[in-house]
Amino acid sequence: MTQRYPIMLYRPGTELRVWNEHDVDTRIAATADEEEAAKREGWSESPAPPSPLDHDLDGHPGGSLPRRGRPPKQRDEV
């Protein structure tokens, strides 16, 4: 089992420049409770800003809402 804590968290700021693109501030979370509180304050695990296509902030484009359109047809088992 890998140890998760302590972990580094980031948010836009002026403390550090990463990848020659993003200016961020850093913070260390030593426990899950500290990480949860920090994330409510706007800290994240990645120094890159979230993609504008990541609507539910899970790290992937898209969102958690179902796709629009007709529901799939239900097939009767024979």
Question: Predicted confidence band at 66 (pLDDT cuts at 50, 70, 90)?
Answer: low
Whole-model pTM? 0.57
pLDDT number for residue 5: 92
- pLDDT greater than 70 at residue 1: no
Region 55-77: mean pLDDT is: 68
- pLDDT greater than 70 at residue 58: no
Q: Which long-range contacts (CB under 8 A, 24 or more apart) does 43-50 make?
A: 43/9, 43/10, 43/11, 44/9, 44/10, 44/11, 45/7, 45/8, 45/9, 45/10, 46/10, 47/10, 47/18, 47/19, 47/22, 48/19, 48/21, 48/22, 49/12, 49/22
- pLDDT greater than 80 at residue 12: yes
Q: What are the sequence ranges of the domains in the chain? A: 7-40
